[in-house]
Structure 1
Amino acid sequence: MSQFDSLTPRPADALLGLMAAFRADPREEKIDLGVGVYRDDAGQTTIMKAVREAERRLAETSQTKVYESPRGNQDFTAAIDRFIFADDETANRQGFATPGGSGALSLGMNFIKRITPDATVWISDPSWPNHPHIARTASLNVASYAYAQPADPGIDLDKLMESLSAAKPGDAIIIQGPCHNPTGIDLDTAQWKALGAFCAEKGLMPFIDMAYHGFAQSLDEDVLGVRAFLGEVPEALFSYSCSKNFGLYRDRAGCLLLKASSETGAQNAGTHLADIARALWSMPPAHGPAIVSTILGDEALTTMWKTELVEMQDRMGTLRRALAESIHPNSNSYDPSVLTSQNGMFSQLPLAKPVIEELREKEGLYIPGSGRINIAGLSMAQTSRVAELLSPHL
């Protein structure tokens, strides 16, 4: 008898299961709005031109595959630090390359567990399902705070902060940067600033998660609210993913930044983060961070990448408008114009699970059970058909 026989099998990840079902579906007219990857109008997730050129240069110049360090590529982390903070006052900050954004979240969650063992991590309702999963895997308590519902035009900040009334000093709060997953509904700059003041007053540890930088308005505009928030709090953790905006999904290029209120605090925290990283993955991936640092360290490559990023952002905006204009709700309870006020790859539709299952089984339209749709999974040719299928249920 195996020692593992007594284990209760865990349910399969719902999104991964949806991806497998889509691949197995033989229907030519099937449409995948589930998996969170950017696709062009031909349905392909191609390698960005700037990435291709950076890889060519790396292939020609790289001399070794030796480990870098538990902190990883520091040119990479410094470049991401400049993205967020836009200054050179780095004495009170630390940066660690990580296996994607999930690695940054895992490193940060384990650090929170170490400094405040009884901390509760507050996560928006709704949120990306991996947020609570990572927190619980780090043996942290999890609670939720009110955020936004699919048909909401924006965020009720008073309601959000009221839902955090039970949070205690030392608790952590995950706040998604621009292009909230799954709603696409974002805080405005004034709300970011007010929430920062609230977190400082409550003694909460903010953990900002930015996975779609440049997908909302622009690289510069997307960080204005975040910087306003960071100006209000003495300390914070920050996770950053290059999966979407550099298209480095499988190369797992992520970064954890830490802001401390003192240089000593930053240095002490850095030793603990390095210690935790050593146990989690020993050494982080090198290839993805090297691509990013190569691009951001070369003016021509940076310009090429920014041009491609703007094209991606513009395309998603065009798809949003086309879908919103084509949807004709069956009731007066849903206003499709809210789609155009949202940002990024995702929107969440008020669809009941039986409807979602029916759309998948009868029409080959694949949507997760949460009602989240990947706008970037559409082609312009598909928007009319998708709107036609969705309209009777909205």
Structure 2
Amino acid sequence: MSNALISNLSLLPPDALLGLMAAYKEDPRDTKVDLGVGIYKDDAGQTPVLKAVKAAEEMLLTTETSKAYEGPRGNQLFDNAVERQIFGDNSEARAQGRVVSLASPGGCGALSVAVGFVKRLSQQGVVWVSSPSWPNHAHVVRAMGMATDSYAYDEVSSGPHAGKVDFEGIKTTLAKAKAGDGIIIQGPCHNPTGIDLDNAQWEAIAHLCVEKSLFPIVDVAYHGFGNSLDEDMLGVRRFLSIVPEALVSYSCSKNFGLYRERTGCLVAQTQSTEHTKVTLSHLADIARASYSMPPSHGAAIVATILDTPALYAMWVEELDLMRGRITSLREAMALALRKHGKDVAADRIVRQKGMFSLMQFEEGAAQKLVAEHAIYLPNSGRINVAGLKLDTIEYVAKCMAPYLK
């Protein structure tokens, strides 16, 4: 037999979250609760297709005339609509031709191209990722051939700023960052903590990026799950008004429920129209070597919704209901935790935003909760609040309480 080159490779460990998903499906216990997978679920435990999405698909079914490639930028109605979601309707940067965007295969596709662009700016640079963060952030950076480091993303535990992000900690850990390094900053509803930068901190981190010449990638994956579509973006827009250059990865998985459609957008802000042309050429070149052309169906759905007033109103109403349900689950979980004397955990969960909460468990708690109570969550302690149900919250709180710090 000829040389077996694959024998030089070793079996990689399975993805922890995917393994958790598989274990949950195979668990026969009636009491099982899935708090691991980061998808929205309704009161019945289902991830529904939004009514606005269904209506848009019906429109597309009768109006779509071709399945031809749409080019490297994809659906430009979608691109422009996402730009408006990020920058607002009266953006000076957009009016000046300093913004350009490309549809991508989900938020991960956008992030991968963004990191590839940062690598072209600084071959020896580092991309800084918050600690804690969504594990795939660092994975994407390494897969694109760049080094990664972490900046502290902790909550102030006491005093007048209790509950807010410890910005002094961010500055301290970024002290060794060098000019040309990249930095991934999560937009509203930080995954996994649910603790967001306030608007003043967004402004401060923008000035920090300018002072240290860091190139920012803003990851917006949960727009509309914090307070409202407009309010969620206030800090991001302030940030973009200060930094001269930035990339924004925008995902439509959560707020449109388009998980399997892989609908994302990479938006670039530059200093001039000439820089915009140069940036677009490089982003398109990186995408060409990866996925070549972006998928179209999800982008067409989003473009149809955002450009059709009746569908837009329907979508906003549905998004408001999803956000309201998550808020009510947080309040119910906090009430249940207080019954077991866990006031600190209760306070944290009600002041956090979005789908996720990072619970402060003792070591090994996640494994015990899975083994003894069929409550599935990753070892980090991150829970998907949208995976709770009102009729299971008491059970979950009772089981978690002994392991909470």
**Gapped runs of 5+ residues in structure 1?**
none
Quick one: structure 1 residues 377 and 45, their matched pair in 2 at CA, closer, same or farther if it must change by over 3 Å? same
Which of 111, 115, 120 is the equivalent residue of 2:126? 120
* Equivalence for 1:290: 300
The answer on 1:322 being equivalent to 2:332 is: yes
- For 1:266-345, what aligned pairs fall within 5 Å after superposition? 266-328=276-338, 334-345=344-355
Deviations along 1:277-302, whole A, 9 cap, x unmatched?
A: 11100110000000000001100000
Deviation, structure 1 residue 334 = 3.5
Deviation, structure 1 residue 352 = 3.3
The CA RMSD over aligned residues, in Å, is 1.4
TM-score relative to the length of structure 1: 0.97
Asked whether the 8 Å contact 1:150–1:183 carries over to 2, the reply is: no
The answer on 1:94 being equivalent to 2:96 is: no
Deviation, structure 1 residue 243 = 0.1
- For 1:203-282, what aligned pairs fall within 5 Å after superposition? 203-282=213-292
* Percent of matched pairs sharing the same residue: 49
Asked whether the 8 Å contact 1:150–1:348 carries over to 2, the reply is: no
* Equivalence for 1:56: 58
Asked whether the 8 Å contact 2:133–2:191 carries over to 1, the reply is: yes
SS of the equivalent of 1:380 reads coil
Quick one: structure 1 residues 316 and 304, their matched pair in 2 at CA, closer, same or farther if it must change by over 3 Å? same
Which of 91, 106, 113 is the equivalent residue of 1:107? 113
Deviation, structure 1 residue 328 = 3.7
Asked whether the 8 Å contact 1:169–1:204 carries over to 2, the reply is: yes
Deviation, structure 1 residue 381 = 0.8
Aligned-partner Cα distance in 2 for 1:16–1:217 = 30
* Equivalence for 1:81: 83
Aligned-partner Cα distance in 2 for 1:333–1:314 = 22
* Equivalence for 2:68: 66
Asked whether the 8 Å contact 2:337–2:345 carries over to 1, the reply is: no
* Equivalence for 1:134: 140
* Equivalence for 2:367: 357
* Equivalence for 2:357: 347
Question: Which range moves more in the overlay, 347-356 or 139-148?
Answer: 347-356
Aligned-partner Cα distance in 2 for 1:366–1:335 = 19
TM-score relative to the length of structure 2: 0.95
Letter in 1 for 2:104: T
SS of the equivalent of 1:117 reads coil
Deviation, structure 1 residue 247 = 0.1
Aligned-partner Cα distance in 1 for 2:21–2:30 = 16
**Gapped runs of 5+ residues in structure 2?**
none
Aligned residue pairs: how many? Answer: 394
Which of 148, 152, 160 is the equivalent residue of 2:154? 148
Question: Which range moves more in the overlay, 349-358 or 12-21?
Answer: 349-358
SS of the equivalent of 1:98 reads strand
* Equivalence for 1:10: 12
Quick one: structure 1 residues 122 and 230, their matched pair in 2 at CA, closer, same or farther if it must change by over 3 Å? same
